[in-house]
Every structure is written in C-alpha cells, then in structure tokens.
Amino acid sequence: MFKDEKALQDVRRKVAEKLNKDEKRLVFGWRGEPEPTRKEGDTWEDVDGKKWTIKNGIRQSVTKLDGAKTPWWCPKCSKPLNHRYDVKFWRIRGHCMDCNVKEEMKIRQQGPEAWYKYERDVMLRNYIAEVRDKIAELQDYHDTVSKPEFVNADETRVLMIEKWDVDIDKIKADLKADIAQLQKWLDETIEINGIGEQNEG
C-alpha cells in the first residue's frame, strides 16, 4: 500500500510540474481589425474573396446559384414549399400557390375591371419577356454562327469531311434585321401599353 501511495504522489508531482511548466510558457497571438457590425441584407466580401450576406439575422454565404435556388418556405406566408405547384408559382410569381390564389381572389373581389387589368398586365409581361428572350437567342446565333461542317467517321478513322458553302455575311445580316424588327415591335408595345405593372396586392 505504501509503494502505491508513493507512486501516486510521483505521478501527481510530475503532472503538477508539467502544468506549471505550460503555465509559464509565453503564448503569442494576433488579432486583425475587428469585423464591422452587419445589418440585415448587407452583402460583403471577405479577405478570401468569398461573398457573404445577412438573411433573417443569420450570416450566409452567397453563391452564383443563389438566384436559382428554391427556398424551403414561402417568403410571404412562411408555408413550406413542398408541392410541385408551390415551386412553380414561386418561380413565376415569387410566392406559393396559396398566396397567389389569395392575391387573385382579392383582385376578383375588386370587380371585372380590376381582373381584366390584372390579366392584361400578366399577358403583357409574359409577351415582353418572350420577345426579350427571342432577341437574346437571335443575338447569340448572330455571335456564334459559322459555316456548317459535318464529319463522318467510324471508330478508327475519319471517312469524310463535308463542308457547306454558306454566305455567313448574309445570314448575319438577316439575323440583325430580325433582331431590329423584334426590338422595334417591343419598343412600340412598351410605348403604347407600358410594361404591365406588377401587382403587389
């Protein structure tokens, strides 16, 4: 028993010496400038180039795909977006299907004139978006058009390369004319009808 007691005291002494030795060791650290206080909606970039924002009081990283991500809850009513129609309406209108039904019901209660204006504005916004998409598509064709070339090959060798002689300048001129015509129609439509006011109701 006496030997065990002595061994225990030796262990305690060695532990105490180790702790005291660590206690006397100098520790150096560095603190940069304190991070500024951020508010809801603030966006900033850290020293590594990563973007951050504050949403609902929580610091979150910002990615290139943030605009394409579907939220888990409706931004208007906080209902989970767990139905395929909820996701569809969120992509089109920015809220769930139930919020859209309630919004349209309020508009219908205002009378036929209000509903007609709402329908007209929705169709006008859709038309404007479709024409803008078509202009962007034609502009992309204009910027990337080249002479067609078809390569016929089997697994081991190229059998034949077929090149077509196409007047690229004529195609580009036609595309430019189509883009100009669509832009003219779009400008006239917006001048006459506006852009279809977004109903926040």
pLDDT single digits (tens) 75-108: 899 889 888 898 888 888 889 999 999 999 999 9
Q: Report the pLDDT value the prediction gives residue 104, as an integer from 0 to 100.
A: 93
Residue 173: which of 149, 148, 141, 147 has the closest Cα? 141
Q: Report the pLDDT value the prediction gives residue 113, as an integer from 0 to 100.
A: 94
Strands (E), 11-127: 43-45, 51-55, 58-62
The 10s digit of each residue's pLDDT in 142-160 is: 998 888 887 777 877 777 7
How buried is 151 (Cβ within 10 angstroms: 0-12 exposed, 13-18 middle, 19+ buried)?
Answer: exposed
Q: Kindly report the pTM of this predicted structure.
A: 0.55
More confident residue, 197 or 166: 166
- State yes or no: pLDDT of 117 exceeds 80: yes
- State yes or no: pLDDT of 21 exceeds 70: no
Q: Report the pLDDT value the prediction gives residue 193, as an integer from 0 to 100.
A: 84
Q: Report the pLDDT value the prediction gives residue 200, as an integer from 0 to 100.
A: 42
Q: Report the pLDDT value the prediction gives residue 199, as an integer from 0 to 100.
A: 45
The 10s digit of each residue's pLDDT in 44-86 is: 888 788 888 887 778 888 877 766 677 888 889 988 988 889 8
Distance separating alpha carbons of residues 53 and 47, to the nearest angstrom: 15
Residue 171: which of 144, 199, 132 has the closest Cα? 144
More confident residue, 14 or 107: 107
Which helix (H) or strand (E) is 158 found in, with range? strand 158-163
- DSSP label at 66? G
- State yes or no: pLDDT of 20 exceeds 90: no
CA 48 to chain centre: 21
Distance separating alpha carbons of residues 108 and 114, to the nearest angstrom: 7
